Amino acid sequence: RTMDDQQALRWTSQLAQWLPDVQPGDRLTGQYLPGQGMRLWRGDQPLGMLSDPELARHFFGIWLSAQTSDPRLRSALLAGLDKGAP
């Protein structure tokens, strides 16, 4: 399904309010919750949960979708799953 301009603006606004500015050395961790949304942490500090399942699916799809623009990064991110990593 394609995204319309209004939806793209709404999602951009939501992410801009929710995602922090990152600095060198920062570590962001995201948890995709299918059908629920996503959670995000900066280091050990929880940043909250975004309760929009469709936005979460698209957001994580940037890196993890089979149609990603960077298949090598996708492979690297998924490599730990083959070894039983969480």
DSSP of the chain: -PPPHHHHHHHHHHHHHHSPP--TT--EEEEEETTTEEEEEETTEEEEEE--HHHHHHHHHHHHSTT-S-HHHHHHHHHHHHTT--
pLDDT at position 83: 55
pLDDT number for residue 5: 86
pLDDT at 25: 92
pLDDT digit string (tens) for 49-81? 999 999 999 989 888 888 888 888 888 888 866
- Give residue-wise pLDDT tens across range 19-40: 888 899 999 899 999 999 999 9
